[in-house]
Chain A
Amino acid sequence: MSLEVRIKKDFGAFRLDVDFTAENGVTALLGASGCGKSMTLKCIAGIEKPDEGRIVLDGAVLFDSEKRVNLPPQRRRVGYLFQSYALFPNMSVRQNILCGLCQEKDRAVREKRLAEMLRMMRLEGLENHKPSQLSGGQQQRTALARILVSDPKLLLLDEPFSALDGHLRDSLKIELRDLLARFGHEVLMVTHDRNEAYNMSERIAVMDAGRLLCVKPTKALFADPGSVQAAVLTGCKNIAPARKLDAHTAEVPDWGVKLTTKQEIRDELRAVGIRAHYFSPDARQNRFPVRFAEEMEEPFETILQFRCEGQKEDSPPIWWRLPKDKKPQRFPEELGVAAVNVLLLYD
């Protein structure tokens, strides 16, 4: 079970150039809007044709520019869940799901698989409804049923939760995660939402401007993003250029501080990142005097913005995020951050 993707496609102003392999389980493609995530999925599904490269799924060559192989989408056995689900509006739930069984010749088998899928997806009783009569969750389940019933070897999910209301999203995340675990094949999920990526995936591939920056296990990526773009995409709010002083000390000119790090610093250090919730008045390491700047309240957390004593004027304030009940009466004069929480960012 494996997916090998190596593709290049030139769009003039924008160049897609990705190269990765994915194994069983869920891999998330994380990146900002317009970075080429969806285009990558379309190339794998055969909807778009890359200029050059090679796509191999479980040993079957789907695309190879050198050998002039380009299987049509119909023969790739790749399921694609579109952002808007792309249910056929003129067909009922039943007819939509039967479309996924179009290559099954035996009518009895078709009916049996349809009934199984309706039960599994809790769509019984909705067989004759049109997509416009379904709720968002039911539409998603119908679209998934239609795909899974066609028995794909790879499942592509394009922003699977973006069409749903916030409160539905969380319950559907759990539902979809369990379903994908049962699916047992590879899943490639495109998202720009780091929480979604964290909830759903075992591995994350970070994309930026058509390039693949890195592929890492999800938790490892959040613990050590490794590059500025990955740090931004995983939600790191405080990032500033930095220079190596010695193996465990980095100088951050914008903030006017020197930081001790737990990880050994490599020579080509470009920047450091500190997540907003890692600051603490009680931290022993990396303490520096600070001035309060701005406050922003969220439902359950508070963001306090501050500046270091020696911080450059044009450098943006630093974010400190903490639960509301932990908010100090008086803004502390000094804040610190543990050496282990200083993220080292390279190119």
Chain B
Amino acid sequence: MDWYPLLNSLRIAAIACVLVFFTGIFFACYAAKLPRAVKGVLDVILTLPMVLPPTVCGYFLLLIFGVKRPLGMFLMKFGIKFVMTWYGGVLAAAVVAFPLMYRTARGAFESFDQNLAWAGQTLGLSNGYIFWRIRMPACRQGILAGTVLAFARALGEYGATSMLIGYTPGRTATISTTVYQLWRTNDERGAMFWVMVNLAISTVVLLTVNMLEARQKKAVRA
């Protein structure tokens, strides 16, 4: 039994999730402070990967990072190649999952009671403290939801991944590309196995979210 697709999928999703966590929050905060016109344009650009077909995202990634493109060639000098490598999968998953984190975090930040931040400032608290100890905890639920959604999306990413890193057993195979490959080659049992694995992971993720939410509600009530 080759467990490589599971490990590869998990590491791609986990790393993409961490990247998206910070960039999503950064842009959500940053966008909130911009003038309305700029914000509208930036918002469209940042949300596009969610609306575009993942294959189109993959195509754009190839345009930018392809080995014959300027940036791709430049990165090759440092031995970094996003095409046909497992960490290219991280890039593809992160790009596709980013809007989910960005939009949920932005929603949470927008519903944040600005008076809390102002109160902190007049009490002499530093802006960093206010962000990490007051704003983030108050938006915890939205940020947590965004993180989980981003993780789930990264784990299930297929389109952009197959465009950018293709399917090489033992090197770039992920659960979703493996399911397609096995089904295509008439290995129905193998495909079914990976479908079940995927189902199990998704169920665990969702159960964890529900549990966290329930615990938080209980803490608020107590």
A residues sitting closer than 8 Å to B (CB atoms) are: 42, 45-47, 72-76, 78-80, 82-84, 86, 88-90, 99-100, 102-103, 132, 146-147, 150
Contact = CB atoms under 8 A, between A and B. Distances in A.
B89 to A, nearest CB: 37
Interface of B: 113, 115-116, 118-126, 129, 134, 137-138, 220
A76 to B, nearest CB: 7
A20 to B, nearest CB: 21
A102 B126 CA distance: 9
A45 B129 CA distance: 19
Contact of A80 (B118, B125, B137, B138): B118
Given A89-B138, A90-B134, A90-B137, A84 B115 contact: yes
B124 A86 contact: no
B128 to A, nearest CB: 12
Contact of A102 (B113, B116, B129): B129
B125 A74 contact: yes
Contact of A86 (B113, B126, B129): B113
A162 to B, nearest CB: 13
30 contacts: A42-B118, A45-B122, A47-B118, A47-B121, A47-B122, A73-B118, A73-B122, A74-B121, A74-B122, A74-B126, A78-B122, A80-B118, A82-B119, A84-B113, A84-B115, A86-B113, A86-B115, A86-B116, A88-B116, A88-B120, A89-B138, A90-B134, A90-B138, A100-B123, A100-B124, A102-B125, A132-B220, A147-B123, A150-B123, A150-B124
Nearest to B119: A86
The DSSP consensus for interface residues of chain A is loop
A132 B118 CA distance: 20
B35 to A, nearest CB: 15
Contacts of B113: 84, 86
A102 B129 CA distance: 10
B221 to A, nearest CB: 9
Contacts of A103: 124
A187 B113 CA distance: 25
B115 to A, nearest CB: 4
A88 B116 CA distance: 7
A146 B122 contact: no
A103 B137 CA distance: 22
A327 to B, nearest CB: 46
A128 to B, nearest CB: 12
Contacts of B125: 74, 99, 102
Nearest to A73: B121
Nearest to B219: A130
Contacts of A74: 121-122, 124-126
A76 B122 contact: yes
B138 A99 contact: no
B56 to A, nearest CB: 41
A103 to B, nearest CB: 5
Given A86-B113, A88-B134, A90-B134, A45 B118 contact: yes
